[in-house]
């Protein structure tokens, strides 16, 4: 019988006690500061101090955090820090599961914020749950929610987009779908790509509201708010530094899209001659117009057939 996923609540503050023979193993996701060290909760301190193993993206950064909090990185069996990042998460799973099976407590942190959100941890969580191990979370800082609530944009319905593809058709399709979504979208972006991303989105809708949130909770925190056109102009030549989150207003609700409008959009893509196949065009137009993909796909096939007949000798 696997162990259920209840949280560690061995004392009033929910501190975790660990070590072999101490009872069921526990995997605990621990949110850490995204800038201001004062945002580390007392419960997070207790968990990090008591864990048998602390999985972290960069052992140097986590060691510095523990040192600043007066927490030792070593334990009864030596250094407690174990690197866990995008390149080695798969290979670390069995080692962590072995620790949990032996009754140990494993804390998981990212370099900043909540692990598993555009950071390592999700794979480990799914494997631990499948193995019947207890998984819990010490909630706290996350740039996604912080940027969302400070943006001034609607927060009743939103989606977390994460990092966009860097280039190519996949990026174009994702941007089109994002700009057609009626929910507020949260996008993480590298500083060097902010200008290009804003320009690309402004090409779709110059009047869409956007917040560019930079260096949250840090000394140089900045929240820029305006339209896509204003944002594209403001950041076109401006050097951007630090962690950046884009919060984009949802697309306005529209009435039913006519068959003529679908045909016009399909003809525009067919006329570009960029080599996209029917499926790719259907995906793009459906995202732009917010209509069923099947309907667009049928229009693509029909209009391609008409173009072919017109070109016959």
pLDDT at position 14 is 38
The 10 Å Cβ neighbour count of residue 8 is 23
Q: What is the pLDDT of residue 275?
A: 59
* 152 has a pLDDT exceeding 60: yes
* Mean pLDDT to the nearest integer, 59-67: 96
| pLDDT given at position 280 | 85
pLDDT reading at 66 higher than 60: yes
Q: What is the mean pLDDT of residues 16-39?
A: 77
Average pLDDT of 192-199? 96
pLDDT tens column, 235-286 = 999 999 999 999 999 998 767 888 999 999 899 888 776 557 888 888 888 8
**In the prediction, which pLDDT does 252 show?**
84
pLDDT score recorded for residue 9: 38
Q: What is the mean pLDDT of residues 139-166?
A: 94
Which top CATH class is 26-141?
alpha beta
- Check whether domain 144-248 has CATH 3.30.950.10, yes or no: yes
Region 130-141 average pLDDT: 96
The answer on pLDDT for 305 being more than 90 is no
pLDDT score, position 274: 56
pLDDT of 12 reads 30
Tell me what the mean pLDDT of segment 223-241 comes to: 95
113 touches 32 (CB < 8 A) = yes
pLDDT at residue number 112: 93
Q: What's residue 138's pLDDT?
A: 97
pLDDT over 70 for what percent of the chain? Answer: 88
Whole-Å CA distances, 43 to 10, 62, 63, 138, 142: 12, 17, 18, 7, 16
Per residue in 85-130, pLDDT (tens digit) is 989 989 999 999 999 999 999 999 999 999 998 888 999 999 999 9
The mean of the pLDDT values for the chain is 87
Q: What is the pLDDT of residue 131?
A: 95
Which of 94, 124, 95, 98 is CA-nearest to residue 109? 124
pLDDT in tens, 293-304: 899 999 999 998
Among 20-24, 114-118, 169-173, whose mean pLDDT is lowest? Answer: 20-24
Q: What angle do CA 204, 288, 199 make, to 5 degrees?
A: 20
Q: What is the pTM of this model?
A: 0.73
The predicted model gives 220-241 an average pLDDT of: 95
């Amino acid at each position: 019988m696997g162990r259920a996923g209840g949280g560690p609540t061995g004392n009033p503050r929910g501190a975790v006690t660990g070590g072999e023979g101490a009872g069921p193993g526990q995997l605990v996701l621990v949110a850490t500061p995204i800038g201001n060290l004062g945002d580390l909760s007392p419960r997070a301190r207790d968990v990090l101090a008591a864990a048998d193993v602390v999985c972290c993206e960069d052992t140097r950064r986590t060691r510095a955090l523990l040192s600043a909090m007066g927490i030792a990185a070593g334990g009864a069996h030596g250094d407690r820090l174990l690197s866990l990042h995008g390149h080695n998460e798969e290979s670390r799973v069995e080692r962590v599961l072995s620790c949990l099976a032996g009754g140990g407590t494993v804390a998981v942190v990212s370099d900043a914020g909540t692990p598993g959100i555009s950071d390592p941890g999700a794979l480990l969580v799914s494997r631990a749950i499948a193995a019947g191990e207890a998984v819990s979370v010490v909630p706290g800082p996350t740039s996604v929610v912080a940027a969302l609530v400070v943006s001034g944009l609607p927060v009743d319905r939103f989606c977390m987009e994460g990092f966009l593809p860097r280039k190519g058709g996949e990026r174009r399709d994702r941007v089109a779908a994002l700009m057609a979504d009626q929910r507020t979208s949260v996008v993480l972006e590298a500083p060097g790509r902010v200008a290009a991303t804003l320009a690309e989105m402004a090409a779709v809708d110059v009047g869409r509201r956007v917040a560019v949130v930079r260096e949250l909770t840090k000394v140089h925190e900045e929240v820029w708010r305006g339209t896509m056109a204003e944002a594209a102009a403001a950041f076109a030549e401006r050097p951007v530094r630090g962690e950046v989150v884009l919060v984009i207003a949802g697309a306005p609700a529209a009435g039913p899209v006519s068959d003529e409008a679908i045909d016009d959009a399909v003809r525009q893509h067919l006329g570009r001659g960029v080599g996209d196949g029917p499926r790719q065009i259907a995906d793009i137009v459906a995202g732009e117009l917010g209509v069923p993909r099947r309907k667009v796909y049928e229009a693509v096939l029909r209009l391609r057939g008409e173009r072919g007949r017109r070109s016959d000798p």
